[in-house]
Amino acid sequence: MRPRKLLATVLVTAIFAWVPMAGALTEEERNNIDLYERLAPAVVNITSTTLEHDFFFNVVPRQGTGSGSIIDPRGYILTNNHVIEDARKLEVTLSNGKKYPAKLIGADPDTDLAVVKVDAPKEHLAVITMGSSANLKVGQKALAIGNPFGLGQTLTTGVISSVGRTMRAESGTLVEDIIQTDASINPGNSGGPLIDSSGLLIGITTAIFSPTGASVGIGFATPVDTAKRVVNDLIQKGYYSYPYLGATLMSLFADVAEVLKLPVKTGALVVEVAPNGPSAKAGLRGGSRKAQIGNNIVTVGGDVITSVNGKPAQDADAAIREVRKLRPGDQVRLDVTHWDGTSGSVTVTLGEKPRHTRARQP
């Protein structure tokens, strides 16, 4: 009997040795806690006050909330343009609860990014470090910190669901390389940071796809590399300097090309060329007459851009994307097919896009 009792004691001891101690944290949990404790002080709540008219046309204030990331010890905060758009008053609440009036420094509707600034003691301003979004992998960990529904700072975790998404901003322009994540993003999270497991900023949470208005696990973030490209201009000039081709483009598809009896089936049709603009000076030709195609009236007779700096332009969006990779003052070579069937190329020296210019005029 004694050997059996000893064996039973050994087995019981071994079983309990494999049971985790109550309250023990996994490695992933410890990582989440560490990231939140380190980075939450660098995430702020932004309250914007706009003026609207009520039913009786009285002017009434309306408040909205969003999030932002402190990116500079001087008090510069990165957020979404739609968080601060049309705001008459901005207020920032730090993680310690202190509130400061904020000043809009610069905004770029085309990337839905903006920078605001607060004058707060440096010891109260923790800074989040920008990483890179160039080599993100589907499946890697992603965390979002923000102020959903105005409830105060929260952390949600998930993975990167997809990369290289394309979204159309409210301005009408295409924003490329958008990050998709299943980390919960709810109203109030907009403008907050999306971070990786090392604590680096990889994106700025900007939108969700939801039939209810709440998170269903399909969230989107502007890549940090886009922010790094525009943020210095926003701080120094208040806006980002986009290249300006001075031409209005329309996508040319095969069915339209067939009706118009064009020698090419796809490309970017030049509808209009701005007088004395970069394209006009280079000899690019816009449309000269109207034609009805189905229920649409189309301006025809202009050149068709088939490639930009040697890269095929299957439609207007493809041509615009290539142009937007450049800066004002750069030269761009456009291969074009003329309306009479001949082809050639023009070299355009890009100008700086006027801030009032419509989005479809690159």
Neighbours of 316 (CB within 10 A): 22
Tokens 């968080």, residue located: 83
Looking at residue 15, its amino acid is I
Cα separation, 319 vs 323, whole angstroms: 6
Cα separation, 308 vs 347, whole angstroms: 10
Residue 283: closest CA among 254, 247, 233: 247
What's 130's DSSP letter?
B
Catalytic sites, residue numbers: 82, 112, 190
Residue 83: closest CA among 238, 206, 248, 247: 206
What's 122's DSSP letter?
G
Cα separation, 340 vs 158, whole angstroms: 55
